[in-house]
Structure 1
Amino acid sequence: MTTPVLKRATRRELHSPRTAAAATVLVVVAIAAVYAGVEMVLHLLRLDPLLVTPGTALEGAAALPDIEAKPAVIAGAVVVAIAGLVLIWLALTPGRRPRHRLDMPPHSVVVDNAVIASSSAEHIRHELDLPRGAVVVGVGHRSADVTVRPVPGQSVDKERLRAVLKGELTRYGLPAGMSVRARVMRPDEENRER
């Protein structure tokens, strides 16, 4: 595979399409169009409207700028403005999937964040000689968190814990700018959480 094709394929795996948002907008527009069509057909057949006749709806929309600011009109305007801002945000920002591209030239490897977290937790467990289930790691797009619950009598240095996780993430080829947070829970903290 050529490099541009590989880059494009990797980008498609890392970024999610906006299919759900586009489908939602299309369904809403289709429902509005079907409703308007039904109201027009009912009006042409001289039957009672479902909600309002098309002429009354157009007159009401034309009169909106002249009426006083009623709470319902203001609430409707706020809802429409928020929906518009959300749609603009969705259109301009790329969606991120919970995955990372590992730096292994000339190949491109895309790995799920949960796999990275699980592997890192196992490495930390072996490195610090901790029992199974004592290490929990969470990996995000720009940060990683590690929580350790040592057995009573065992001490774990928070800075060493952070360094081990940072070294493991660097070994995978993840961005060096990822923030790493470490937390060591004591048995008394565990009892307070329950």
Structure 2
Amino acid sequence: MSIDTHVYTRVLRRESHDSRTAPAVVTASLLALLLGALLVLGIWMIIDERVATGVAEFLSGRHVAFDVGGVALGGGIILLLLAILLIWLALAPGRRDRRSRSTDRLAILVDNGVLADTVADRVAEAEGLDRSNVSVVVGRTRASVHVTPTSGVALNPESVREVARETLTAAGFVSEVRVRIAERGVVS
């Protein structure tokens, strides 16, 4: 393996996976806001003794107009849900709808939508259909082809599957192909 191959691998991985920057920035911003509020409250308690007395009474549980246990339970539930969300964001795969491949000389990154359009164009051309009658969705492991034939013209699902498979193979991205042909055709 050359140095370029390692670079290609790193770049393709970075471009095919979502960044975790947004959740990290939101979490850091919330923590900075909370710490800033605590700093302002601490300074305010030093300046004004009535605030310090009010905070002391609140923390001791005297002269509180609401249930401290209920507030603590609600806050705990909110923090638990936030923790579960952040753990899920950290562990979820975060893949983008892109496929990649590389050789010693180049690296290719293709959006699944581009592959789907290519397969749809090729199927429409091979079967003699209008392009608007063919829709394709390319996923990570399979491609799904939906064809609406012209009324009175029968289509062979195997020929559609073979054209789609050949197109994906020619592009270098092999997938399982599922074909669905609509029962009712359209008038041309």
TM-score range, shorter chain: 0.7 to 0.9
Query: Does structure 2 retain, via aligned residues, the 8 Å contact 1:102–1:172?
Result: no
Instruction: Specify the structure having the higher radius of gyration (Cα).
Output: 2
User: Separation in 2 of the partners of 1:131 and 1:98?
Assistant: 26
Deviation at 1:119, TM superposition (A): 0.7
> What is the CA-CA distance between 1:135 and the residue it aligns to?
0.6
Q: Please, which of 22, 30, 34 is the counterpart of residue 24 of structure 2?
A: 22
Correspondent of 1:180 among 161, 177, 186: 177
The number of equivalent residue pairs is 177
The farther-off stretch of 104-113 and 11-20 is 104-113
**Structure 1 residues 151 and 23, CA gap change in structure 2 (3 angstroms):** same
State the percentage of identical aligned residues. 30
Letter in 2 for 1:97: R
Query: Cα gap change, 1:38/1:125 in structure 2, threshold over 3 Å: closer, same or farther?
Result: same
In structure 2, what is the equivalent of residue 63 of structure 1? Answer: none
Give the TM-score of the pair, scaled to structure 2. 0.77
- Paired residue secondary structure (2:131): coil
Give the superposition deviation at 1:56: 5.6
Q: What letter matches 2:118 in structure 1?
A: S
The 1:16/1:156 distance shift into structure 2, 3 A limit, reads same
Following TM superposition, by how much is the alpha carbon of 1:163 offset from its aligned partner in structure 2, in angstroms? 3.1
Paired with 1:141 and 1:47, the residues of 2 have a C-alpha distance of 63
Cα separation, partners in 2 of 1:150 and 1:37, compared to 1, 3 Å: same
Structure 1 unaligned segments of length 5 or more: list them: 61-66
Residue equivalent to 1:40: 42
C-alpha distance in 2 between matches for 1:110 and 1:137 = 19
Aligned to 1:6: 8
State the Cα distance separating 1:148 from its structure 2 match.
1.1
Q: What TM-score results when the alignment is normalised by the length of structure 1?
A: 0.75
**Deviation at residue 180 of structure 1 after TM alignment:** 2.8
Q: How does 1:1-194 map to 2 (within 5 A)?
A: 2-46=4-48, 55=56, 70=70, 73-102=72-101, 106-174=105-173, 176=174, 178-187=175-184
Asked if the contact 1:114/1:139 (under 8 Å) is kept, the reply is: yes
1:122 Cα offset (Å):
0.3
